[in-house]
Each structure stands twice: as C-alpha cells, then as structure tokens.
Amino acid sequence: MIGRTGRAGRKGKAITFFTEKDSDKLRSIANVMRRSGCDVPQFMLELNKRKRKKQNNKSKDKKSKKHKTDESDDNDIESD
C-alpha cells in the first residue's frame, strides 16, 4: 500500500512494503517510480525476475507431467 505523503504542499516519503507474493505488482510499481523520476532499486528487478523464472519452471513441469500422464494412459488400454 502506498500511503499519503507531503500533506499541505510539504515534501514527504512514501514507503511500500511487499513480499515475493506481491511481485506480480512490481511492474506497475516500477513504472510509477520511473514516471516520477525515481530510480527502481535493483532488488525489485531481481525479485520480479525470480518470480517469473519460478512461474516458467512450474509451467514446464505441468506440461511435462501431462505428457507423462498421456503416455501412461496409452499403456493402460486392455485388450480382449
């Protein structure tokens, strides 16, 4: 959550807390930071890369398991 800062024309700091589970929101946060002239910390970029890599690996594992299941189904056919 990004809180209200700099009330009544004063400058302030915004602090955003997030975890690895929130990494799907990092792109939006990074875009807002860039548009406002802030640097995006490297750890935010790395966290997003790790999350995407995990998602890609899970997707590959699911496809691999489905392929193995399909092959085993072919072997389960009984003949009379």
Which amino acid does the sequence have at 36? S
pLDDT of residue 7: 80
- Quick one: pLDDT band at residue 70, thresholds 50, 70, 90? low
HSE at residue 10, side-chain half, CA atoms within 13 A, is 8
pLDDT of residue 35: 92
**pLDDT, tens only, 4-50:** 677 888 887 777 787 778 878 888 888 888 998 989 988 887 876 76
Cβ proximity of 2 and 14 under 8 Å? yes
Q: Which residue has the tokens 């489905």?
A: 66
Cα 68 from chain centre:
28
- CA nearest neighbour of 30 among 57, 21, 61, 18: 18
Cβ proximity of 15 and 1 under 8 Å? no
pLDDT of residue 27: 83
